Chains A and B, each alone.
Chain A
């Protein structure tokens, strides 16, 4: 399996000398092509920080991150935006759609800023929308559709440029349980039938159970790693719950 992402001894500190928070404390792992990996952990365990470092929004204090062989910690500030644009797709908890554009235009935006020839844009958008089952709402504005549709639109936007890696931070955080499972099915579809590499951050065991491999973080370190293997999703969910109980995690937000 081809390697897409490799993290080597990542550390991230916040604050100054007297008062240091170690948000990430020596994390290393690898993500292969077409993997669907979940990062789990309680609130404050460093998930978002880790994602921000991978997505080059934030800089690491120490360590190296290789994306498709390129060390992103070495990329010059000026080139970062271009790098992000070409190699990464994002799905955010609060959708981050532009309220001034229709869903279709929101998806098209991702293509146009990557200088895709104008003639090809509509075809790509239509194709991706059909795959994600939002083709009939493409001409609507974000405020006219449901949260689930918005998030699927965000998925389409992340996918349409065929990035190396899709980063999703709590993608189900703002959705009701029905929309959440539909979205997760979508993500699984993207991963299985389109071969997308997805790194998803969540604090929720149910959401995490859709991934094939899970890294559990605690206090900025990898506490354990879970592989789904040949298990069904339900069994995997059970195993996750066991680990969370071991962590002393709060089960109240488990569905």
Chain B
């Protein structure tokens, strides 16, 4: 008999459940789609030179992390359903049904719907995963081809995960229902009185903001000694000064507000803080810009903390705008009778004001989340393009062979190999060698040979001729040195701070073959790969050939460029063979030999770039869908209340066209405010992000290509927003019509 009741309930409340089912289906579909590419059955044709193993490991982690967000959404939808049905539960309970039975019936209902959503979601997920396959294939530079993605292991994982979710959510629901008193159940949809309670959310946020401002002032003061450095330009001084004064001003304003007890109106404080927030943001934003423009020795830590401050200020901006929206509207309304008493505008103001009073917290959260989501979406192409471009500059030679002397304790055992086997192997593979550089790296002073502590490793030296050949192979400019001069070559990850300090301390270098002086402007950053440097160092000396002839050679490297790329299989085979040829006993104290091939490097990095791309996209999609779903649900869940209000309007003689227009206006506002706040903030963030990496964009991606990708992404986002809006509007209008 209960089964019948459950089915009937489910059928009757199919409209309520529609939202529930759609949201769950979306969750399942996204989960399934992203998980399916980690399946052991997933074998897309990405070409023989690549391997998917890296992608799988990384994606599994990323998915688990982001799925926690999905849990939040599922919980929200569940609560929504629960609230909608409370009144019905109260009636059932009053008619004598045990609360436990009611609860279990609700659980059964949601489970039936959940399982339905699960099935639908997996089907949708299999379709959705085609997009991800397309993304994957394009990452590896392949054309899209259809591949079947309904895998038993993914299905099992998805079903397992979601059934667990349903069970947990169901458990909590059952507990809630059993513990709720009938009277509270009856009142569940009447939140009016509670509606107008003041939110204690904003004071907390202001307090956090104050805390951050204090930290900013402190950080500013600790860096203030740079202010007295006469070498820096005016802009830099302004920046240092501004970063102390701007936050201090905000703190001062707060203090003044606090002292003027009479007018201690919290809204007033938020209004005061609003304009004061822009200089704070401006000066914080100047830090990374100035750092790269004037080579300030600030370090990554400082830059990152200023980025954090900037993010914090932006978040506060969103909260402040939404919090103030209400008082702005009140002000606008009070300002003139024209606005207030123009047709139905009183009703409209009433609607949004009551909404703003109750929904400030949700609105802030949604805005913040949307801003993060939009930023993620827009950042993806830039970051991917950047790392792809960077990869191309890192995997600089087709084959790099190098050795390490860190296990060698007798000078006789230092390497003097020519790596002839590789020449033979490449010939066997019919790969022509275009350029080939076999060279040694030298110890400036032999006595440093035994320095083996981590921070004690000596900087090695390369001869000028070898250095110039490497430069030629990379298409970099060659350099010249005078008789007793030397130069420096830096690895790209070395910071300017480190470089400056090193240059200051190493104007002269003592070698076994005499003393050398640092050439003027003798610090280079050619992209010569990562295998040139000694352990724990980011720099090598470039010495004249004459000097090197008299030094102890400790490492022996060979870099090769081939006419055509080495196939992935051939590259892996070469690496295996190389290990066999140059295998050394672990115990044996002799040189270690290593090999890197461009194919292998490209393959592994492309994998991690894809993981980054996919997980950022996944996170962005999940956040976006959550935001919009919650926005819609909030509107729809109040449709009863709204139905009553619009009903009153209708009884007063407002025709339906006008009511429809009011509905649209209200929805536009409710969607528009958080979306607008998020768009403004993320636009600021993105403009800032793009200008700060404009050098990288020009170098690795190209501004036009990037703009095209960003435009495509933005148009998708706009479409999504419009879809959500339209769906909410249709459902909303229908539920209002039905309540007339």
Contacts and interface: CB of A to CB of B under 8 A. Distances in A.
Contact of B653 (A84, A98, A116): A84
B360 to A, nearest CB: 16
A96 B346 contact: no
A118 B340 contact: yes
Contacts of A110: 652
Contacts of A121: 337, 340-341
Contacts of B342: 112, 118
B345 interface: yes
Interface in B321-363: 336-338, 340-347, 350-351, 353-354
A85 B652 contact: yes
Contacts of B649: 98, 113
B653 A118 contact: no
A209 B662 CA distance: 42
B64 interface: no
A143 B192 contact: yes
Interface in A77-110: 78, 80-86, 88, 90, 92, 96-101, 105, 108-110
A112 B645 contact: no
B345 A112 contact: yes
A90 B648 CA distance: 10
B651 A90 contact: yes
A88 B648 contact: no
A113 B645 contact: no
A108 B647 CA distance: 17
Contact of B346 (A85, A101, A119): A101
B341 A112 contact: yes
A96 B645 CA distance: 8
A115 interface: yes
A227 B193 CA distance: 45
Given A84-B653, A109-B347, A100 B341 contact: no
A122 B651 contact: no
Most buried by A among B341, B345, B651: B341
B350 A101 contact: yes
B655 A78 contact: yes
Interface residues of B, number: 29
B656 interface: yes
A128 B692 CA distance: 64
B653 A88 contact: yes
Contact of B652 (A78, A80, A100, A109): A109
B655 A82 contact: yes
A96 B653 CA distance: 13
B341 A108 contact: yes
Nearest to B656: A81
A34 B651 CA distance: 23
A122 B347 CA distance: 16
Interface-centre pick from B342, B351, B649, B651 (highest chain A CB count, 10 A): B651
Interface string B647-676: 111111111100000000000000000000
Contacts of A83: 653
A85 B653 contact: yes
A121 to B, nearest CB: 4
A141 interface: yes
A111 interface: yes
A108 B333 CA distance: 14
B354 A82 contact: no
B652 A92 contact: no
B193 A108 contact: no
Nearest to B655: A81
A141 B337 CA distance: 20
Given A82-B653, A84-B653, A99-B645, A113 B337 contact: no
Among A84, A88, A113, max chain B CB count under 10 A is at: A113
Nearest to A56: B653
Contacts of A78: 655
B171 interface: no
B337 A98 contact: no
A100 B353 contact: yes
A97 B644 CA distance: 10
A83 B655 CA distance: 10
Contacts of B345: 112
B645 A100 contact: yes
Contact of B337 (A96, A99, A118): A118
A105 B350 contact: yes
Interface residue tally of chain A, by bracket? 20 to 34
Contact of A112 (B196, B344, B650, B655): B344
Kindly name the residue among B336, B350, B654 whose own CB sees the greatest number of chain A CB atoms within 10 A.
Answer: B350
A163 to B, nearest CB: 10
A112 B193 contact: no
B354 A100 contact: yes
B350 A115 contact: no
Contacts of A82: 653, 655
A96 B343 contact: no
Contacts of A57: 651
A118 B353 CA distance: 21
A99 to B, nearest CB: 5
Contact of B645 (A86, A98, A119): A98
Contacts of B353: 100
A88 B652 CA distance: 9
B648 A97 contact: yes
A100 B192 CA distance: 9
A100 B196 CA distance: 10
Given A113-B344, A121-B341, A141-B196, A98 B654 contact: no
Contacts of A112: 341-346
Contact of B350 (A80, A98, A111, A113): A98
A113 B652 contact: yes
Contacts of B196: 141, 143
A80 B656 CA distance: 11
Nearest to B740: A57
A115 B338 CA distance: 11
A254 to B, nearest CB: 30
B654 A113 contact: yes
Interface string B610-649: 0000000000000000000000000000000000010111
A81 B340 CA distance: 22
B87 to A, nearest CB: 17
Nearest to A101: B350
* Highest count of chain B CB atoms <10 Å: which of A78, A83, A109: A109
Contacts of A116: 341
A101 B655 CA distance: 20
B346 A109 contact: yes
A115 B354 CA distance: 24
B641 to A, nearest CB: 8
A98 B656 contact: no
A119 B350 contact: no
Contacts of B654: 81, 85, 113
Contacts of A108: 340-341, 346
Contacts of B193: 143
A3 B298 CA distance: 90
A192 to B, nearest CB: 26
A36 B196 CA distance: 39
B288 to A, nearest CB: 46
A116 B341 CA distance: 8
Contacts of A80: 655
A105 B338 contact: no
A96 B648 contact: yes
A184 to B, nearest CB: 22
A233 to B, nearest CB: 30
Q: Pick from A78, A88, A118 the residue with the most CB of B within 10 Å.
A: A118
A121 B343 CA distance: 11
Given A118-B341, A118-B342, A90 B347 contact: no
From B351, B354, B648, B652, name the one whose CB has the most chain A CB atoms within 10 angstroms: B652
7 contacts: A83-B653, A85-B654, A90-B652, A113-B652, A118-B338, A143-B192, A157-B652
Give the 8 A-B residue pairs with the shortest CB-CB distance, closest first: A85-B653, A100-B350, A81-B655, A118-B341, A84-B653, A100-B354, A118-B337, A121-B341
Given A96-B647, A112-B341, 7 more contacts: A81-B654, A100-B351, A101-B347, A105-B346, A115-B343, A121-B340, A121-B341
